Amino acid sequence: MIKFQDIQIGDYLQAEYEGKVWDGEVIGLQKDQQLVQVLTDVQDFWFEPSHLIPIPLSTKAMLDLNFTPVRDEQGQIKFTKGAFRLVTPDSGDFSHFEMWYREDKRHNPHVQYVHELQNQYYDMTKVHLTKD
């Protein structure tokens, strides 16, 4: 389950309804009832946070967000998107990493899921992290 206060418009996550799960993008928030409007490939619908599933941070997720992976001479993987950088110690290991944008550098931020990365990216760049 994702905490309602951790969700922002534009976040990517999965939504579950009657046992079916869809990938989607948050397009609306209703704070008084704590409902999240998610656009899926089927339609948009309002979900309670208990029916939302975070997408784990992975190499596939980084590629889906159009990051470019580069392996350096120490074997680390650097994912780049514009001036933003995220470095992992090894391919597929997102348990600890560092990321930076210009002078803002963060070591081992608490980021395990795509929506958390999107929120950190926005905090650092003031631009939404999308698949474009």
Q: Which domains does the chain have, with CATH numbers?
A: 4-53 (2.30.30.140), 59-125 (no CATH)
pLDDT averaged over the chain?
Answer: 93
| Res 96: pLDDT | 85
Whether the CB-CB separation of 81 and 42 falls below 8 Å is answered with no
Query: How are strands ordered across the β-sheet holding 35-40?
Result: 44-47, 35-40, 20-30, 12-17, 52-53
| DSSP-assigned states of every residue in 32-45 | TTTEEEEEESS-EE
| Res 37: pLDDT | 98
Which residues face 105 on adjacent strands?
A: 100
With a pLDDT cut of 90, the percent of the chain lying above it is 83
Backbone angles phi, psi at 130, to 5 degrees: -125, 180
For residue 54 the two structure tokens come to: 């975070």
Q: Does pLDDT of 92 surpass 80?
A: no
What is the Cα gyration radius of the chain? 15
Confidence of residue 89 (pLDDT cuts 50, 70, 90): confident
60 CA to centre of own chain? 12
Give the integer Cα–Cα distance in Å for 111 and 125: 16
Which of left, alpha, beta for 99 (phi over 0: left; psi -120 to 50: alpha)?
beta
Which residues face 39 on adjacent strands?
A: 25, 44
Q: Which of 17-26, 67-76, 89-98 has the highest mean pLDDT?
A: 17-26
Q: What is the dihedral of CA 47, 126, 92, 114, to 10 degrees?
A: 0
